[in-house]
Amino acid sequence: MRTPLIAGNWKMNTESSSAVALARDIAQRAAEATDVELLVCPPSIYLTLVRDALGKAAVGLGAQNMSCQPKGAFTGEISAAMLTDIGAQYVILGHSERRHVFGETDENVNGKTHAALAAGLTPIVCVGELLEDRETGRTAEVIRSQFDGSLAGVTAEQIESVVLAYEPVWAIGTGKVATPEQAEEVHADLRKQLTERYNGELAEKIRILYGGSVKPDNAAELLGQANVDGALIGGASLKVEDFMGIALAGEAVGQA
């Protein structure tokens, strides 16, 4: 019922030529995975190049961050309207690197979420605990508070256009993937929170992605969990073989 979303977060990688080459390679192979939705999130400066390289292939375009402000004197920032203007459909918000390297708070993420929704962009709102949170048994508490803060004021009508991503910080770029059981436990709790805040019917419609060291060889097990509806992929999204390998694993478990 929920089409898996396989999203590549290219982070601050690629140059114009390699971004275009990667986009072309993905576009060429996109038709192999028809039961999942593919998305690439290149650096903002290459969004239009990647859009053109994707052409008519069924691959979505997303940004990695944006401002909560609509326009004006905000040097270095990019607005939601600019993203829709160049054809982006998605934006990743509150990625752990934004939260922990650049100090973004739940309040910042919430402001951006509202700005994205107002502009018609689909926000991928990320939450995730630090290793010390997990080791001290605070995972559920941290995730609940990020969920509440990041989604404050989001209405039932709006939540249908939101994608959630659970990314344990200790699993990002470390090669230490969460076990399928660890991922499923948090995903199920996120769905429970959606049910409590909105209702069960809406909660069933919302996609919750897992992110953190997803690779072709661990994707099937993760994506096979009942509440894991896709992947947010960093390192492995930079190689077409790996990205498509994950997409095909998602497709295979969907059909099982």
Q: Which is nearer to ligand PGA, 142 or 231 (CB)?
A: 231
CB of 156 to ligand PGA, least distance (A): 28
95 classed as catalytic: yes
Lay out the site mask for ligand PGA across 183-202 (x = CB under 6 A, - = otherwise): --------------------
- Binding mask 4-23 toward ligand PGA (x if CB under 6 A, else -) reads -----x--------------
| Residue whose CB is less far from ligand PGA, 34 or 174 | 174
> Would you call 167 a catalytic residue per the annotation?
yes
**123 near ligand PGA, rule: CB under 6 A:** no
Q: If binding is defined by CB under 6 A, does position 167 make contact with ligand PGA? A: yes
Residue number, 111 or 211, with CB nearest to ligand PGA: 211
Long-range CB contacts (within 8 A, 24+) of 136-145: 139/186, 140/186, 140/189, 143/186, 143/189, 143/190, 144/189, 144/193, 145/106
Shortest separation between residue 125's beta carbon and ligand PGA, angstroms: 13
Pick the stretch among 16-24, 48-56, 183-191, 232-240 that binds ligand PGA (CB under 6 A).
232-240
Asked if 64 touches ligand PGA (CB under 6 A), the answer is no
Which region among 33-41, 104-112, 149-157, 165-173 touches ligand PGA (by CB under 6 A)? 165-173
Which tokens belong to 243? 């990205």
User: CA angle at residue 41 from 128 to 172, to 5 degrees?
Assistant: 30
Within 10 A of 74 (CB to CB), how many other CB atoms are there?
12
60 near ligand PGA, rule: CB under 6 A: no
Q: Which residues are catalytic?
A: 95, 167
Binding site for ligand PGA (CB under 6 A): 9, 167, 172-173, 211-214, 232-236
